[in-house]
Amino acid sequence: MSFVEYGDTIKDGDTAIVFLGHESMFPVKVQHGTVTQTKYGVIRHSTDLIGKKYGSKVTCSKGGWVFILHPTPELWTMNLPHRTQILYSTDISIITMMLELKPGSIVCESGTGSGSLSHALIRTVAPTGHLYTVEFHQQRAEKAREEFREHGVEHLVTVTNQDVCKNGFGVSNIADAVFLDIPSPWEAIGHAKSALKVEGGRMCSFSPCIEQVQRTCLAMEEYGFTEINTLEILLRVYNVRTISLQIPDLGKAAENNSSTGFDSSSPADQGSLCANLQQGAVQFKSGVPLREVVGHTGYLTFATKS
């Protein structure tokens, strides 16, 4: 199993996604002799998972069933264990496009965090590219190395435990792109410039506060970066629902009401009117925005090494 190469069957040691529904799924490490509890009952790895094809429908001990999915960076972003705040697909998609990443690209990243963006970057630059990711926190760096090894992508990534603001990325003049997700990105702009290839490399900085963006832009200008621009990506989700709307009254009903002296203040007449209008309703499917929407996540500042 690898996050960048699809495997047909589930093997011992794989990371798989147990899919109970669009709003309910979780990762599981497949191990011989292990069981996983779900609300539909027990899944026995030895008999229910190992040797079965990814995408299979597995019946649990209580009679309910789940699907077992092959892991992807998108599914991992939705289900990974959170060690830090993470980037989601909305920001990840624009980052990979604006940094002009492709198979064979060399990318430097700091900090690694929970590895959400890291897995997407690895999949994008595979099979001949490489990710150099720097994490200040030692335990998080070690956990990231362990996950990359379990996910079959350790040959595509190098994890370094150091302070990027003081020690840089450990590489010089080879990176096609640099990504920064640290509290003070302006302190690492010089190291980012050193890591980028001689000319034309792209960099991106993610910051939740506009004050951080201002200081980062000033540092980018100081180090000679061009094409500096900042984006904020907002996601608006719609639910598909059945909507009921009244057929418009083009005047006939209004004339009848006025001729009969209809008094809208009468409860009996109001009920009669509502019943008549309900008979003239039409139902159809429509997209309805959520009442509560996740707003600001962070600002993405892009620049080019001239």
Q: How far apart are CA 129 and CA 155, in angstroms?
A: 10
Is 115 within any annotated ligand binding site? yes
Structure tokens at 300: 């993405």
Is 48 within any annotated ligand binding site? no
Is 117 within any annotated ligand binding site? yes
In terms of Cα–Cα distance, which of 140, 183, 184, 134 is closest to 163?
134
Residues 6+ apart with CB under 8 A from 235: 90, 293, 294
Upper half-sphere CA count for residue 62 (Cβ side, 13 Å): 9
Is 114 within any annotated ligand binding site? yes
Is 80 within any annotated ligand binding site? no
Backbone angles phi, psi at 238, to 5 degrees: -115, 140
Q: Which amino acid is at 240?
A: V
- Alpha helix (H) residue ranges in the chain: 73-79, 89-98, 116-125, 138-150, 164-167, 189-195, 210-222, 252-260, 267-279
Annotated binding-site positions: 114-117, 135, 163, 181
Binding site, annotated residues for S-adenosyl-L-methionine: 114-117, 135, 163, 181
